Amino acid sequence: MSETLTVLGIESSCDETAVAVVRRSAAGVEVLSSVIHSQVVKHAEYGGVVPEIAARSHVETIDDLAQRALAEAGYPAIDVVAATAGPGLIGGVMVGLSFAKGFAFARGLPLMAVNHLEGHALSARLTEDVPFPFLLLLVSGGHCQLLSVRGVGDYERLGTTIDDAAGEAFDKIAKVLGLGYPGGPALEKAALSGNPDRFTLPRALLGRKDCDFSFSGLKTAAATLAYEHVKTEQDRADLCACVQAAIARQLVERSGRAMTLFKAHTCVAGNENVPAFVVAGGVAANATIRRELQALAGRNGFRFLAPPLKYCTDNAAMIALAGLEHYAKLCKMGLKERESLIAEGLAALARPRWPLDEVRALADPIHKKQGRKGAKS
């Protein structure tokens, strides 16, 4: 890419307010600044994220955070604005998207409405040259999916959770065990001194050969064991180690199946390069899970990649990159009319749900409709 583009990215889909400035040129991608305001302290006493508190915190901090990000980047000329437009807590998404619209409108800049999941999907490209297509495991507090990433905006869902995400299981089990919030890192720390073989936990969906996940049964079983058997700190550490091992095992099993499907598909397409297996999302920061998935990739002939830890959890650098990738794609197609892009960006809507593979989500929803209102799909 010969043209140098500088993007301001905004992320506010959950409990982190984040702003970043990212530049891409022929030399590669450079993160000029990436600042994050965490709300952990505000939500800790509730044991989880409270949407109203999160939205108010975004409103209170986003102005100062944007000033700080621009200052750290040296106040560069901004070419494009990118903001998370979903999925996420709708109040928070609206705050970030509205700020981005105001910034873009005041300067006559195009605004790219970004899918938060796509930010995670492309996050490894912040620091690595990851060619398309690649296999992605997106594993976080709200999402657990296996996707074939064929290009920018082109995703095929191979598997997803039918109930809870892996990160949610970590957090909820940690809460039952009294480990505080955020639960995932606390459970990982406690598991270091635990025996992963002490307790027997259920293995979900054993009769199925697809790539879908399920963690609700694990949550229930772990909660039962916690109430009945956890009396000492060692008991707690042992259960944490068992939970972590069970989640890692399921991620490895399903990812192995997805690797077989992915390789068969790419071989037919004539791709002879070593395929990449990218693991992104907050749970990718878990060292044990990373180690297990890296070993799996090696056994199956995949190149293992994961973003640096600072880009695993929610951040605006990944949103800036996703917006930049889409803008560059439009420019390559010859669709660079500023007026139409500006109008389209200002008309973007905040979305609480936004699947990456919308065709598959509509044709084969995980939660089938029941009754007049039905389950959320």
Structure confidence at residue 368 (pLDDT): 57
In a domain, 355, yes or no: yes
- If asked whether residues 237 and 91 sit together in one domain, one would say no
Summarize the confidence of residues 7-29 as an average pLDDT: 95
Number of domains present in the structure of the chain: 2
pLDDT band at 367 (very low <50, low <70, confident <90, very high): low
Who has greater pLDDT, 376 or 149?
Answer: 149
* In the predicted structure, residue 377 carries a pLDDT above the cut 50: no
In a domain, 322, yes or no: yes
In a domain, 220, yes or no: yes
* In the predicted structure, residue 278 carries a pLDDT above the cut 90: yes
Who has greater pLDDT, 209 or 187?
Answer: 187
- If asked whether residues 122 and 178 sit together in one domain, one would say no
Contact 161, 214 (CB under 8 A): yes
Summarize the confidence of residues 159-174 as an average pLDDT: 93
Summarize the confidence of residues 258-286 as an average pLDDT: 83
Summarize the confidence of residues 212-234 as an average pLDDT: 95
Single residue among 306, 331, 347 that ends a domain in this structure: 306
In a domain, 292, yes or no: yes
Q: What is the pLDDT of residues 283-326, one digit of tens each?
A: 999 999 999 999 999 999 999 999 998 999 999 999 999 999 99
Structure confidence at residue 182 (pLDDT): 84
**What is the rounded distance in angstroms from the CA atom of residue 224 to the CA atom of residue 281?**
28
Percent of the chain with pLDDT over 90: 76
Structure confidence at residue 365 (pLDDT): 76
- If asked whether residues 90 and 153 sit together in one domain, one would say no
Domain extent for 111: 5-126+311-363
Contacts 24+ apart (CB under 8 A), 284-291: 284/137, 284/139, 284/312, 285/185, 285/309, 285/312, 285/313, 286/184, 286/188, 286/244, 286/248, 287/188, 288/188, 288/191, 288/244, 288/245, 288/248, 289/139, 289/244, 289/247, 289/248, 289/251
* In the predicted structure, residue 374 carries a pLDDT above the cut 60: no
- If asked whether residues 56 and 173 sit together in one domain, one would say no
* In the predicted structure, residue 376 carries a pLDDT above the cut 60: no
pLDDT band at 344 (very low <50, low <70, confident <90, very high): confident
- If asked whether residues 147 and 242 sit together in one domain, one would say yes
- If asked whether residues 140 and 103 sit together in one domain, one would say no
Single residue among 270, 290, 306 that ends a domain in this structure: 306
- If asked whether residues 321 and 352 sit together in one domain, one would say yes
Single residue among 306, 327, 347 that ends a domain in this structure: 306
Note the pTM of the prediction, 2 decimals.
Answer: 0.91
Structure confidence at residue 69 (pLDDT): 98
- If asked whether residues 254 and 327 sit together in one domain, one would say no
Phi-psi region of 122 (alpha: psi -120 to 50; beta: other; left: phi over 0): alpha
* In the predicted structure, residue 233 carries a pLDDT above the cut 60: yes
* In the predicted structure, residue 282 carries a pLDDT above the cut 70: yes
Q: What is the pLDDT of residues 110-131, one digit of tens each?
A: 999 999 999 999 999 999 999 9
In a domain, 193, yes or no: yes
- If asked whether residues 72 and 155 sit together in one domain, one would say no
pLDDT band at 243 (very low <50, low <70, confident <90, very high): very high
Summarize the confidence of residues 50-70 as an average pLDDT: 96
pLDDT band at 272 (very low <50, low <70, confident <90, very high): low
Structure confidence at residue 273 (pLDDT): 77
Summarize the confidence of residues 176-192 as an average pLDDT: 92
Structure confidence at residue 207 (pLDDT): 81
* CATH assignment at residue 98: 3.30.420.40
Average model confidence (pLDDT) across the chain: 91
Percent of the chain with pLDDT over 70: 94
- If asked whether residues 206 and 111 sit together in one domain, one would say no
